[in-house]
Amino acid sequence: MIIGREKYWKTVRKKELGNSLFQIYLDEISLKSDQSNNIQLPAKLADEVVREWNADGKIDTIKKSFFTKFCFAVIDMTQKERENVVSRLVAYGNCDPICYIADEPKKLHIKQKKLYDPLIDWAQKFLSIKLKKGPDLLFIEQPSLNSGKIKKSLEELDGFHLCTLHELTKSLGSLFTSLALYNKIITPEIAWEVANVEDNFRIEIWGEVEEETLTKNVNFDHFNKLVKILKMI
- CATH number of the domain enclosing 211: 1.10.3580.10
Spatial separation of the C-alpha atoms in residues 151 and 216, rounded to whole Å: 30
Number of domains the chain contains: 2
Note whether 173 and 219 are same-domain residues: yes
Q: Which amino acid is at 211?
A: E
Note whether 150 and 48 are same-domain residues: no
Residue 176 lies in a domain: yes
Note whether 21 and 97 are same-domain residues: no
Of 75, 100, 126, the one marking the end of a domain is 75
Spatial separation of the C-alpha atoms in residues 30 and 24, rounded to whole Å: 6
Please determine, for residue 205, whether its predicted confidence score (pLDDT) is greater than 90. no
How much is the pTM?
Answer: 0.91
Residue 7 lies in a domain: no
> What's the DSSP call for residue 32?
B
What does the angle CA 97 – CA 187 – CA 114 come to, to the nearest 5 degrees?
A: 50
Residue 1 lies in a domain: no
Neighbours of 85 (CB within 10 A): 20
Of 51, 75, 99, the one marking the end of a domain is 75
pLDDT, tens only, 216-232: 888 999 999 999 999 99
Note whether 148 and 209 are same-domain residues: yes
pLDDT, tens only, 96-138: 999 999 999 999 999 999 999 999 999 999 999 999 999 987 8
HEC sequence for 207-218: CCCHHHHHHHHH
Spatial separation of the C-alpha atoms in residues 12 and 164, rounded to whole Å: 25
Are the beta carbons of 89 and 175 closer than 8 angstroms? Answer: yes
Spatial separation of the C-alpha atoms in residues 195 and 97, rounded to whole Å: 9
Distance of CA 15 to the CA centre of its chain: 27
Question: Domain span at residue 37?
Answer: 12-75
